[in-house]
Amino acid sequence: MVGLRHPHVRGLGMTAQRNRKRLVDRLYEEGIRDDRVLKAIGTVQRHRFVDEALANMAYRDTALPIGHGQTISQPLIVARMTEALLEPGPFDTVLEVGTGSGYQAAVLAEIVDQVLTVERIRPLYQRAGRLLRELGYHNVRLRQSDGSWGWPQLGPFERIVVTAGGEQIPDALREQLAPDGVLVMPVGPSGRQELIRLTRHGQDWERESLGLVSFVPLVSDKI
């Protein structure tokens, strides 16, 4: 990992490490039990993924704005989504739809061999790419594109995680899910979505609700 860029953010040092430990303890209290998830949350420098002015709030269990109408998700939700991907069994590669700040990708990169992540907003795509490289996450590959299209050239995928809400799961993402693959996405109207885990069994689909969440909408480009 490289050093921090901003002098007064550098001063977070041990404070950030203690805050990450407290955050991990809170997530455990909230029911997160997978050691891989807790270790990843305790490792990733969340304060690097938010605006410098919000760095002192980075380890609170809350979503924070990252510009362009987007947010960095609440750590508990990141942990739950990651745990939901891991529970059915081991896998090597995950497709993330909605890179945003890059935080979810970094958490996944601590656990799996390869993270493929798609972001439609160019400034976020560029910023996340620079930061992930700077932090040494060389197992993350980014693409600027409409996430609802997935990444068909590299599919099918063992796991897909969508970090924005939609009224339904895009057909392209269903088609790119491998046999016995798992897709996790918030589904429903804006402000009141269900976190859905969809498992593909051949031509059959198992759909589970993992609770209510609130995400920014998944926006599709019209062509």
Distance separating alpha carbons of residues 32 and 187, to the nearest angstrom: 22
Question: DSSP letter string over 38-105?
Answer: HHHHHHS-GGGGS-GGGGGGTTSSS-EEEETTEEEPPHHHHHHHHHHHHTT---SEEEEE--TTSHHH
H/E run at residue 185: strand 177-187
Instruction: Give 5's contacts (C-beta < 8 A, 6+ positions apart).
Output: none
Distance separating alpha carbons of residues 89 and 84, to the nearest angstrom: 10
From the candidates 73, 145, 209, 214, give the one annotated as an active-site residue.
73
Backbone angles phi, psi at 57, to 5 degrees: -105, 0
Which tokens hold the place of 8? 């007064």
Burial (CB < 10 A; 0-12, 13-18, 19+), residue 152, is exposed
Residue 101 a catalytic site member: no
Q: Which residues are catalytic?
A: 73
